[in-house]
Structure 1
Amino acid sequence: MKLARTLGLASVLALSAGLAHADSTVRFWYHFDNADNPMDALITAFEEANPGITVEAENVPWNSYYDQLYTAIIGGNAPDAAMVKAFAQPRLVEMGALAPIDDWLASWDATAGLQDNLIDLVKGPDGNQYYLPVQYVVLYLYYRPDMFAELGLEVPTTCEEFREAAKALTRDTDGDGQTDVYGFGFRGSKGGHDHWASFVLGAEGVSLTEGLTSEAGVAGTQFVADLFQKDEVFPPSAPNDGFQEIIGAFKAGKTAMTIHHIGSANGMVEALGDNVSAAPVPECGGGRWTAFGDESTAVLSSAEDPVAAWKWISFLSSAGNNAKFNEATGQLPVVKADSESWTLHPQRFVQATVDSLPFAQMLPNSSETADFVNTIWPTAMQRVLTGDITAEEMNAEIAKLYGG
C-alpha cells in the first residue's frame, strides 16, 4: 500500500512539476539555536520572487523537534516542508510521510551546483531521493603546521605516515624529562567513535555491518590500541577524553593533531592564529573514511501544494540563499559557489571539508547505531586502550550488535 502511495505521489508530482497553486501557503518547520537568524529575510526574498506563495516558518526547539514532527504527522497536522536529519529518514519513509523529489532534482537547474556526493549521501533507504541537502559538516584532521615545519614533517596521507609523524611529534619540549606534547588527541570516551572509525572503516570490505572481525578490521582497532599502548602518542587521559578535552589540549599546544569538523575552526584560529591548519584524514587499510554531519529539507507527502513546498526548499539550497541560511548555523553551504566565497571560516578549513566529501560516510540508520554510539563503542574502546580486552574482542562485540 505504501509503495503504491509513493509511486502514485511520484506520478502526480511529475505531472504537476512547476505548477504551484495560484495562492499557496507553505508551512515550514526548522530548528535554529540562534534567535537572530535570517529566516525572515529569506522568506521576504522568496515571496517577492514567487508571488502567490506565502511561507509560514516555525522555529521548533531542537530538544522536542522530532517528537513534535512525528506527532504532527500521525495527527494529520504535519508541516508542508521541514528540516530533517538522516537518522530520521527510515522512520519517515516507513510512515509514508515524505514526498520523493527525484523528478524535481532532475529538472532543477541548480542540482549540478551542489557539492559532489551530497545527494548520494542522503539518498533514501528505498533508493528514492527525499532529502535536499541544506547544510553539512565533515570531519577532518587538524594539525599544527608550525610543529610539522620545525621537525621537517609532511602532513600524513596514510596511516603509516600518520604513526611516524605522531611519534616524532610526541616529545619533551622543555627538557624536564616528561612528555609535554603528544602527537594526537584521541577522543576515547563517548563521541570518539568517529576517531576510531577513521582508522578502521576505510579498509576494504570493513564496515560496522560487515568485515569487522576480518584480519583487516581487527588490524584497524589494533592500530589504534598500539598508538596508545606502544607508541604512547595519545595523552595518558585519552581513554576518558571527550570533546572538551581534545579541543582544549590542541588549543593549548599539548597535542599536535586531532580530528573534528569546521565547527571548531574559528576557536582554533582564535587560540593559535596561523599555527593551525587542516587536511583530510589519512588513508588506512587502502581507503579513507570520515564522518558526515547532515541537515536537509524535505517536502512532506501531506503538503497541500507540494510544488510550492519544493520551490521553497530548493530556494534555500540555491546559490546566495544557502549562504545566508548557513550564516546562522556555523555549518557549510551545500552550493559550490557559496563555498568558494564563504568567509565565516578561513578557507583552508572549507577546502579540507570539501576535499573530504568524496569519502565521507554516515553510520547505519538503525536502532543498533544508538547503542553503538552511546554504550558499546565507548565502553569497549576504553577497555581496549587500558588492556582489559583485545582488539579482536572489541570488534566481535560490535559485530554482534549489528547481527554479525
Structure 2
Amino acid sequence: MRKSKKLISVFIALLLSLTWLAACSKGSDETASSSSGGKQPVQLQFWDMVWGPPEYIKTAKKLVDQFNKENPGIHVKYQSTPWNNWYQTFSTAIASGSAPDISTGAGYQAFQFAQMGAILPIDDVIQKDTVDVNDFYPGSIDSMKYDGHYYALPWADDIRVIYYRKDLFEKAGITTLPSTWDELRTAAKKLSGNGNYGIVMPNDTGGSHYVMSLMINNGGGLFTKDGKPDLTNPRNLEAVNFLLDMQKDGSLNPAGAGMQGADAQKSFAQGKAAILIDGPGLKESLPELKDKIGILTPLTGPHGDQGTINWINNIMIYKQTKYPDEAKKFLAWWSKNEKRLWTEGHVGQLPIRKSFQADPYIQNNEDVKFIIDKYLPIAKTTAFHNASLFPELNTVEGQGFLQTMTQQISMGKDSKDIIDKANNAFKNIMSQQQ
C-alpha cells in the first residue's frame, strides 16, 4: 500500500511538472506572438527572372532583405528564376495552384497570363498614386493597360541600338559616321572583303530584331493602329530590300543564316563583322573591347523616319495570392527602391523611371546616357502602330516566321517571296489567337 501511495505521489509530481512546462511553453508562445503583433508575418513568394550577371541576383536578394526589415508584418521569399523554359515554369505553377504571389517577367508575360485570368489588375495601385506615375518614362505606364485594366508596372526597357567597331571603321578610312540608310550601305561595302563583312545578322530571335528595328526605322511595323496584321506594308518591304541590297553587295555575311546571337557577337568581337544590332548591355559582355566599340546615332530612313524596337519588361501580381494588399505594397516598394539593380547589380537594360535615369551613376555612363537620350525617345514596341501591348505578341515573336525571314535574307532570297510567306504565317497566327 505504501508502495502504491509512493507511485501515486510520483505520478502526481510528474503531472504537475508537465503542467508547469506546458504553462511556460504557452507563456513563451504568447510572448513571441505578442512581440510580432499577435500573428506571424504574411509570407509572399517573389519569382524574379535573371536580368543580369551574378551580382544582379545578390543585389536583388539584398533588396528583399531590406524590405523584410522595414516591413516586419510581411516576409518576402526571393527566388531567382532562369529563362530556360520560363513559360512552362509559370504556366505549370498557375495550373497547379502554386503560382508565386508576384514576379518579374518579359514584355508580354502579364498580358498573356491576364488573358488566362491569372494576373491581378492593379488599377487601384495606379489610381491611388501608390506609385508616382509621373516618374515613369512617358507612355510606359499606359503600355501596361490591356482590356481596360492595368496588369503590371514597367520596370526596365530592353532596346536595340546599332554598334560599330571604331578600329575597323578607322582602318577602312571611314571618318564620317553613317547617319542614313544609304550612308550605312556605303560604309558596309568599304568594311567588307577578305572574309570580313560590314554587318552580320543571326537567324534567331536576335536576328529578327534587325528586321523589326529597320521596319520601324522606316515608319513601318507589323500592325495597323487598330491591331490588324500589316506585314505587307510597303515600308516593311523597303526594309527587307535594304538588307537584301547589302547581302548582294557582299556586305551581309551569308553565314548568318546558320548563326545564333552568340555566334554573331563572336564574329563582331573577332573583327569579322564591323556592325551589329544588339541590346544596351553589349559592351558589358565584351569588356576587353569596350574602347573599340561605338554606338551610331539613330539612322534616318529613306522617308525621314527614325525609330528602333524596344520591349518594356514588367512586374506583376498573380490572382492566386492570398495576400493581395501585401503583394501590392511590395510591388510599390520594389518599384520605388530598385535603382540598386543598376548601380550595384549591373542589369543590362535601361531603367524606366526618370529619377533613376537622372542618377549620376547612369548619367556618368556615356553609352547608357547616349542610348537614353537618342534611342529611347524614338523606340517602338512590336505592337507598333498599335498603342498598347496585347497577349498575341508573345506568339508572334516566338512562332518562327520572323526568324525564317532573317535566314532567307542572309541567303539572298526574293523579297516578295520572303514577305508573302511570312505574311501568310503571320495572318494564320493572328487568326488562331483571336
Instruction: Verify same fold: TM over 0.5.
Output: yes
The aligned counterpart of 1:377 is 402
For the pair 1:27 / 2:51, whether they are aligned, the reply is no
Q: Deviations over 1:101-151 (max 9, x none)?
A: 233234145332233443344x24314221112333211011123444563
Contact 1:69–1:78 (8 Å) recurs in 2: yes
Bigger CA drift: 243-252 or 196-205?
196-205
For the pair 1:48 / 2:69, whether they are aligned, the reply is yes
**Residues 257 and 91 of structure 1, relative CA distance in 2, 3 Å threshold:** closer
Contact 2:247–2:409 (8 Å) recurs in 1: no
The one-letter amino acid of 2:66's match is A
Instruction: After TM superposition, list the pairs within 5 Å mapping 1:123-272 onto structure 2.
Output: 123-148=144-169, 151-170=173-192, 178-179=193-194, 181-188=196-203, 191-207=206-222, 210-229=229-248, 231-268=249-286, 270-272=287-289
**Residues 153 and 210 of structure 1, relative CA distance in 2, 3 Å threshold:** farther
The aligned counterpart of 1:401 is 425
CA shift for structure 1 position 317: 1.9
Contact 2:218–2:235 (8 Å) recurs in 1: yes
In 2, the alpha carbon distance for the partners of 1:386 and 1:193 equals 15
**Residues 340 and 196 of structure 1, relative CA distance in 2, 3 Å threshold:** same
Contact 1:292–1:360 (8 Å) recurs in 2: yes
Bigger CA drift: 270-279 or 181-190?
181-190
The aligned counterpart of 1:335 is 353
In 1, the alpha carbon distance for the partners of 2:46 and 2:70 equals 18
Of the three residues 123, 139, 162, the one matched with 1:102 is 123
Q: Deviations over 1:72-126 (max 9, x none)?
A: 33444433212222333333112222222233234145332233443344x2431
**Residues 102 and 74 of structure 1, relative CA distance in 2, 3 Å threshold:** same
The aligned counterpart of 1:360 is 379
The one-letter amino acid of 2:293's match is V
Contact 2:280–2:349 (8 Å) recurs in 1: yes
The one-letter amino acid of 1:277's match is G
Unaligned stretches of 5+ residues in structure 1: 1-20, 171-177
The one-letter amino acid of 1:226's match is D
The aligned counterpart of 1:310 is 328
CA shift for structure 1 position 370: 4.2
Of the three residues 55, 58, 62, the one matched with 1:37 is 58
In 2, the alpha carbon distance for the partners of 1:84 and 1:51 equals 27
**Residues 154 and 49 of structure 1, relative CA distance in 2, 3 Å threshold:** farther
CA shift for structure 1 position 340: 4.4
Give the RMSD, CA atoms, in angstroms. 3.4
Unaligned stretches of 5+ residues in structure 2: 1-38, 384-389, 429-434
**Residues 79 and 346 of structure 1, relative CA distance in 2, 3 Å threshold:** same
In 2, the alpha carbon distance for the partners of 1:214 and 1:233 equals 26
Contact 2:44–2:76 (8 Å) recurs in 1: yes
**Residues 255 and 38 of structure 1, relative CA distance in 2, 3 Å threshold:** same
Equivalent residue pairs, number: 373
**Residues 58 and 147 of structure 1, relative CA distance in 2, 3 Å threshold:** closer
CA shift for structure 1 position 374: 5.2
In 1, the alpha carbon distance for the partners of 2:290 and 2:307 equals 28
Tell which structure's C-alpha radius of gyration is larger.
Answer: 2
The aligned counterpart of 2:386 is none
Q: Deviations over 1:246-305 (max 9, x none)?
A: 21222222222111012321233x332422122454233543443324432112234333
CA shift for structure 1 position 346: 8.0
Contact 2:206–2:278 (8 Å) recurs in 1: no
Q: Deviations over 1:349-401 (max 9, x none)?
A: 312432322333343556686476554233344334434x4111111122222
Contact 1:278–1:349 (8 Å) recurs in 2: yes
SS of structure 2 residue aligned to 1:245: helix
Bigger CA drift: 132-141 or 283-292?
283-292
**Residues 252 and 156 of structure 1, relative CA distance in 2, 3 Å threshold:** same
For the pair 1:274 / 2:291, whether they are aligned, the reply is yes
**Residues 186 and 346 of structure 1, relative CA distance in 2, 3 Å threshold:** farther
Contact 1:30–1:83 (8 Å) recurs in 2: yes
In 1, the alpha carbon distance for the partners of 2:151 and 2:367 equals 29
CA shift for structure 1 position 193: 0.8
Structure 1 runs, 4 residues or longer, greater than 6 Å off: none
Contact 2:401–2:426 (8 Å) recurs in 1: no
TM-score, with length taken from structure 2: 0.74
Contact 2:101–2:320 (8 Å) recurs in 1: yes
CA shift for structure 1 position 188: 4.1
In 1, the alpha carbon distance for the partners of 2:63 and 2:89 equals 24
Contact 1:198–1:281 (8 Å) recurs in 2: no
Contact 1:282–1:288 (8 Å) recurs in 2: yes
Of the three residues 360, 365, 389, the one matched with 1:347 is 365
**Residues 373 and 300 of structure 1, relative CA distance in 2, 3 Å threshold:** closer
**Residues 307 and 161 of structure 1, relative CA distance in 2, 3 Å threshold:** farther
